[in-house]
């Protein structure tokens, strides 16, 4: 199975780049299933129902989120009935929405997508390891499910790496989001799980993690409050990873970076 994961979509330029390029990428790379993190897609803060539907129409099968999931308040009602939009699974009991969903690809492959949020330098949510353990307990990868993906949304690479090793051999992909910078540690772990500490963002890299540079620089230099940050509006780079799995085991055969457009060096995975 060939699954594409796209990093945090930031602002209008990130959305437009994904919507423009994704249909052709799906055809060219023969992709079976697409997951994208959309928590920064509405002006850099949250996501709306309109944006969700635009991303679905472009070929995204499931949208993950993170700490900005509730920034656009309209999503609170929308997420209740949308089985393709997930929020971190370790939010407290009673939080609207789902932290894990199972969806089928066009050819009938069953994919479990789990979204979880780390705790180091983040909100003090429920234990992320226990939450994911409960979500996959008793599930057979390569049997009832063809692919299991965990989007680990967090600041600390140590916490994300711990996640990768803790679930190595039990899931297809553990991928980090949130820091908006692609790390150089994309690999297949010892027991067959693909891993990357952070896939990077789909946004303008002539920026400070996707935001216009002026106010972040001023905040760091002066330590004074500034107006609300705004998403940068230059050409976006799409950052993602393509994971190919063994159909019998559901474990990764290969994992390759994808980068298209903008300032970062372009990388295109192999077609087959």
> pLDDT tens for residues 229-247?
999 999 999 999 999 999 9
What pLDDT is stored for residue 270 in this prediction?
A: 81
Q: What is residue 56's three-state secondary structure?
A: helix
The answer to whether residue 109 is catalytic is no
Residues of the chain where predicted confidence (pLDDT) is lower than 70? 272
Of 20, 21, 43, 68, the catalytic one is: 68
Q: Report pLDDT for 272.
A: 64
Strands 238-245 and 2-6, by their bridges, are: antiparallel
Q: Which two tokens stand for residue 85?
A: 């939009």
Global pTM reads: 0.97
Domain map of the chain by residue range?
2-260
Decide: 242 and 256 in contact? Cβ < 8 Å: yes
Beta strand extents in 173-227 (DSSP E only): 173-177, 187-188, 194-196, 201-202
Please state, in angstroms and rounded to a whole number, the distance separating the CA atoms of residues 134 and 221.
44
Q: Is 3 exposed, middle or buried (0-12, 13-18, 19+ CB in 10 A)?
A: buried
Q: What is the pLDDT of residue 132?
A: 98
Residue 215's pLDDT is 94
Asked whether residue 40 is marked as a ligand-binding residue, the answer is yes
Token couple for 117: 């949020």
Mean of per-residue pLDDT scores for the chain: 97
8 is in an annotated binding site: yes
Topology of domain 2-260, CATH: Purple Acid Phosphatase; chain A, domain 2 (3.60.21)
Task: Establish whether 153 is an annotated binding residue.
Answer: yes
């Amino acid at each position: 199975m060939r699954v594409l994961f796209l990093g945090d979509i930031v602002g209008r330029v990130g959305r437009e780049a994904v919507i423009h390029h994704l249909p052709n990428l799906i055809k060219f790379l023969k992709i079976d299933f697409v997951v994208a993190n959309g928590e920064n897609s509405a002006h850099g803060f949250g996501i709306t129902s309109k944006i969700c539907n635009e991303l679905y129409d472009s070929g995204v099968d499931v949208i993950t989120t993170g700490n900005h999931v509730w920034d656009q308040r309209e999503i609170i009602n929308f997420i209740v009935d949308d089985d393709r939009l997930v929020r971190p699974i370790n939010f407290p009991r009673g939080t609207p929405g789902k932290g894990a969903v199972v969806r089928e690809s066009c050819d009938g492959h069953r994919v479990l997508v789990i979204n979880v949020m780390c705790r180091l330098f983040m909100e003090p949510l429920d234990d992320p390891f226990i939450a994911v353990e409960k979500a996959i307990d008793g599930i057979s990868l390569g049997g009832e499910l063809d692919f299991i993906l965990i989007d680990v949304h967090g600041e600390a690479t140590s916490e994300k790496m711990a996640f990768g090793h803790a679930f190595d051999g039990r899931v297809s992909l553990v991928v980090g989001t949130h820091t908006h910078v692609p790390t150089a540690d994309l690999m297949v772990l010892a027991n067959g799980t693909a891993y990357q500490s952070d896939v990077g963002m789909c946004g303008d890299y002539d920026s400070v993690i996707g935001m216009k540079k002026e106010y972040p620089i001023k905040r760091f230099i002066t330590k004074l409050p500034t107006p609300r940050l705004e998403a940068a509006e230059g050409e976006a780079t799409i950052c993602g990873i393509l994971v190919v799995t063994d159909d019998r085991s559901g474990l990764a055969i290969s994992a390759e970076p994808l980068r298209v457009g903008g300032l970062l060096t372009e990388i295109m995975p192999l077609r087959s």
